Amino acid sequence: MNIIKRINLATKVAFGVLKSTSTSNLTILNSSNTYTFTYKTKYAEAYNLCPPVQACVTKKANAVTNGKLIPVDPTTGESKTVGHFSKVLKVLKRPNKYQNMEQFIKTVEVFLNVYGACYVYKVKGVGLNDVTGLIVLPNDAITINKRTNFVYIDKEDELVLSYQVSIFNHTFLITDVSEVSVIYDTTINLMKVIEPQSRIDAIWENVESIINSVNSRNAMTKNRGAEGILAPERGDATASAIGLGDKERERLQDEYKKYGTTSRQWHTLIAKVPMRFQAITRTPVALGLFEGENADSRTIAQHFGVPIPLLGLPDTMKFNTYLEAKKEFYDDTIIPEARNIAMWLSELFETEKNGYILMFDYSYLNFLQGDEKLKADTYKIMSETVRGNIESGLMTVEEGKLILSEYE
């Protein structure tokens, strides 16, 4: 079951939570005259119908969850033990009835990549301020009601008046916007900097091209039609003079259906009279569909930050090995995006009030171990060099510490 289908199940929980929320924060929506923001359905279509998009997004979601969520000191970045972290883990291990922590984080990453933003409903106990559960609200089910008079320095909760959520033929208006936590993707909307920007927008033509190409290939296979025309050889006056009636033509068509490319069909037609075959169909190769799909797939992969070899496409120009591509994937794409999610979770659970922030740790992965060893060896060499310079009076202790801080 893919994440889009799974989240539809999770929305059942959202419906139950919304229905039981205090009436002061929940109102049945009848009409609204506010400025509204809704999401285009093409984003879900791109994920569901374009294989490279789903492959890239799923690979990224799986990679993000390979990280171990740990508490670190906000100043030094060093791991630390904090009692409050156990409360956070308790919520994240089962954020809602249908998802565990890994599935929840994957869902957040998927919605970020597809829509540019992810909206999460915070479940809280009656009269309590602590978050006890988290539910991702499908973007297509949300209409955001915003103020028409605002400036860019306003905070998100000052811009949004309410969230209209339509689930299972029910429409609700959440007027306490603090009940919804929003995390934005790292993409920027140049026209409206306060609005989310989907990555699909920039590659929509590539996405649409692949969808149309796949549909064309399926049509050629499923509804292939006549591959050609059987006609008498030139100069065969007898065969040319014999006309076919409707019944005879229908009989020949029925006979011709017995032939085809599958194992249960006949492959060769033997005629009693000299005949020639004139092909009237074109194959996907002749139409250049595969070349077009490969080119579009590369564009989509690059846009999502996924190295080409990780999708099974050759790319000998840049990467010598698969592990090189995988390392760059984590360095340039996964770790920065995971940091974005970790910062959001830190703010959501107010961890800094308890002296720590959250971080996803990937250092344990085998293909990243080489970097850690290289970093340690480099630091050791620089430490010895700095020590020698200090003893020789070429630099002060403070200058040495400043230099070494760049290698920590």
| pLDDT, tens only, 48-100 | 999 999 999 999 999 999 999 999 999 888 888 889 999 999 999 999 999 99
Section 18-37 average pLDDT: 46
Place of tokens 């809602």: 96
Using a pLDDT cut of 90, give the percent of the chain over it.
34
Q: Which two tokens stand for residue 355?
A: 């002296």
Most confident of 172-176, 223-227, 334-338: 334-338
Terminal-to-terminal C-alpha distance of the chain: 43
Residue 13 has pLDDT above 90, yes or no: no
Residue 12 has pLDDT above 70, yes or no: no
CA 399, CA 392: separation in Å to the nearest integer?
Answer: 13
CA 324, CA 310: separation in Å to the nearest integer?
Answer: 10
- The contacts found for 279-284 with CB under 8 angstroms, 24 or more apart, are 279/227, 279/228, 280/226, 280/227, 280/228, 280/229, 281/220, 281/224, 281/225, 281/226, 281/227, 281/228, 283/220, 284/216, 284/217, 284/220
- The contacts found for 73-82 with CB under 8 angstroms, 24 or more apart, are 73/355, 73/356, 74/352, 74/355, 74/356, 74/357, 77/359, 79/361, 80/355, 80/356, 82/351, 82/354, 82/355, 82/356
Residue 271 has pLDDT above 50, yes or no: yes
Confidence of residue 285 (pLDDT cuts 50, 70, 90): low
pLDDT, tens only, 311-368: 877 655 566 677 888 888 999 999 999 999 999 999 999 999 999 999 999 988 887 7
3-state secondary structure the chain: CCHHHHHHHHHHHHHHHHHHCCCCCEEECCCCCCEEEECCCHHHHHHHHCHHHHHHHHHHHHHHCCCEEEEECCCCCCECCCHHHHHHHHHHHCCECCECHHHHHHHHHHHHHHHCEEEEEEEECCCCCCEEEEEEECHHHEEEEECCCCCCCCCHHHHEEEEEEEECCEEEEECCHHHEEEEECCCCCCCCCCCCCCCCHHHHHHHHHHHHHHHHHHHHHHCCCCCEEEEECCCCHHHHHCCCCHHHHHHHHHHHCCECCCCCCECCCCCCCCEEEEECCCCHHHHCHHHHHHHHHHHHHHHHCCCHHHHCCCCCCCCCCHHHHHHHHHHHHHHHHHHHHHHHHHHHCCHHHHCCEEEEECCCCHHHHHHHHHHHHHHHHHHHHHHHHHHCCCCCHHHHHHHHHCCC
CA 134, CA 112: separation in Å to the nearest integer?
Answer: 16
Q: Domain residues of the chain, as ranges? A: 1-223+282-362, 226-280, 366-408
pLDDT value for 60: 96
Single pTM value for the model? 0.69
Section 180-203 average pLDDT: 83
Residue 116 has pLDDT above 50, yes or no: yes
Confidence of residue 30 (pLDDT cuts 50, 70, 90): very low
Confidence of residue 11 (pLDDT cuts 50, 70, 90): very low
Average pLDDT, the chain: 77
User: Sign of torsion, CA 119 123 127 128?
Assistant: negative
